[in-house]
A and B are shown apart, each in its own frame.
Chain A
Amino acid sequence: MDSKSSSRRDLLKGGALAVGAVATGASVSTLGSGATTPAFAETPATGPAAAPASYATNVAPMVPSTEETIAYGLRSHYVTSKRIQEPGRKVPAIYTDFGLTAHVFTPLQDSYGTIQASSLHYFATTKGSFVPDLDPAQHTLTVQGLVDRPRIFTVADLKRLPSVTRFHFIECSANNHTAMHKNVQESHGATSNAEWTGVLLSTLFKECGVQEKAGWFIAEGSEEIKGADTIPLAKGMDDVIVAYAMNGEPVRPQNGFPLRLVVPGFEGIFNTKWLRRINVTDQYQLNMDDFGHLRKDATNAALGYRWGPKSIITFPSGSQKLPDHGWYEITGLAWSGQGAVRKVEISTDGGQSWNVADLKGTPNRMAHTRFGYMWNWDGGDHVIMSRTTDETGAVQPTRQQVAEFFKKDYTPQYRPPGLNNTIMPWKIASDGSVTNGIA
């Protein structure tokens, strides 16, 4: 047995050597053929890029993993992408900074695909950086109010019920891009997309038997202020999730561990974190968290509730630089609070003409969809834009279109009413630099 496995190892080793030799040969011939790969051609032979020429020289040092990183992996130290505080806000570092909401923005410019790493998922709190430390073995969710059978569920109880796993974005009303934002993290970093796993709230409502006169439910968190939102029962019966997991692991504390409500498409604050109670009621009310939706004007109130169709180009985007003219994939994210993305279009001439972009994968309802469009940059000045159309037929507008709709004079300072889903233009200069194109 031992000798057998040892000879097999030798065989495998020999095979690996053979493959290595072939690969090395290929690299050598590439270099020898006049360097068709620009990276090789432009790098001096002494640099790291010359390494493939000699299989025997491993220029990258072999670093052992630590016990900690074997147990729980870390990203490469070359990858340094970070979340930031909302631009223009003072960092709420201490507990006494009451009233200062912490908005922490995700680095969309560094993201790929549609899932935001949980460690980079945007989050917002009303009490600075403080989050409750909840023991999942002790935490419970109470469903009460206008129900026939009030119930207390432990987290373990919820995991016994039929689960759903769905992709959904969450987006804060703070995602309100203006001419002052330098890059996509500042302008659009208060949205992230994750794979949420949990129980449909409708399943819990069936367990508890919602009474006929009920019209809303109040979702309440476990933090010190027991922040609460009033949500239509129709939404709760439709697609609201009591989530215990995101991206394959328990929901992270900043995102509501151990339970958070996911209310697809609604403004971020409705997605109640550290969920402890669902109270079914017959009156709409302005609770602690609902009060922020108080508006004088009906248009503002209506458009401040759910997200419309929205998209953003993440490459090339503000503060990035195109090194040379030639082909690039313009890429970004599109989503809608009203359903799935149906179409994304790209303009490279400031909105005069539009081209249909590729959608990467199947668009999900109320979820980010990645798009791409191949563009041969001629080295000239361009304004690039993306716009999306959702499954309801609603089209993402320019700021000018919104101003026109509401019969307002347009200036670059114009603020669209409600949640801002307008098109974000990026300006590309002839030196390849990319800047905010709101004008």
Chain B
Amino acid sequence: MFKVFTNSRQSRICSLRSLLGMFACRSLSATVLAFALGATTARAVPANRVYVSSEKDNKIYVFDTQGQRVSAIDVCQRPRHMMFNADHSQIYVCCGDGNALGLVDTVSGKMTGSLPLDNSPEIFGLSPDGKIVYATIEDDSIMGAYDLQSKKKLFEVKVGGEPEGILVMPDGKHAYVTSEVANVVHYIDLTARKIVKNIRVGTRPRRFALTPDGKELWVSNELSANVSIVSTADQKVIHTIKFKIKGIRDTDITPVGMTLGADGKSVWVGLGKANHVAELDVATREVRKTVLVGKRAWGLAPHPDGKTLYVTNGMSDDMTLVDVVGGKAIRTVPVGRVPHSVLVQP
């Protein structure tokens, strides 16, 4: 863990205190780690950055917020979903073929360690304290819980086939997981470590967005061309939003990626094969606009200023910057092979 920036400090301290010997030196590592972490947070996180994971290049490509390529970070095999830690000093990246969560230091722009996961992890969530990683494990059909500190697996919950989307509730007590095969959303009690309820949604449910009040869970159904809205109070589907795009057949509308808009008043959905993204109004549950982007638009993230949305296009190997207000693509920039997720650091 944190190899790059702990090792050098640790060795320096160890050599300074050579009298203590190896054992004592090892016991110091926790302190050193805390010190190193403190040092990291003290260092400024690079601003004006957009991070895109590329599934087939095993890299995270770094852009500025205007879409200019800045650099690339080598990570583990087949990087997919990404999340920042609390202070954005780290990016966690889920590596589907590397069976690990890569830990990327945003300041140095390097992968500094990893947390082993099970076979073919796809999407993950974090406990509210940021200590536990909950990941969907496609090949074993489980949701695994892993401790970031000890790097140990804590437990697993058996779920339906090909689990994908996961959302940990803000109180950390429950999580929702989609099963693409069973066509359900599992409502999982993280304390009891079991499924409490299976909520039947559309065909091939994929990802989630939680409304800011925490009352509605939005679920994208890839093969039903719609979004199910689940009430988090009683775990029932209370509404379904159907997509229609002029000139595009229903079967070509395959919603997958979802994100809340910067103001929390809208949800953006990547419509996959339809090569569009849609903005849905959280209050009225209506489609506000659809925007033409690249091929198989899945990943999306808004700039916190609410002006730009970044969309990764998995089949055209590029990223589209969308003008949120005008509802138009501003520009599309090449990324590496099969871009998956995107993170924005203003």
- Does A associate with B in a complex? no
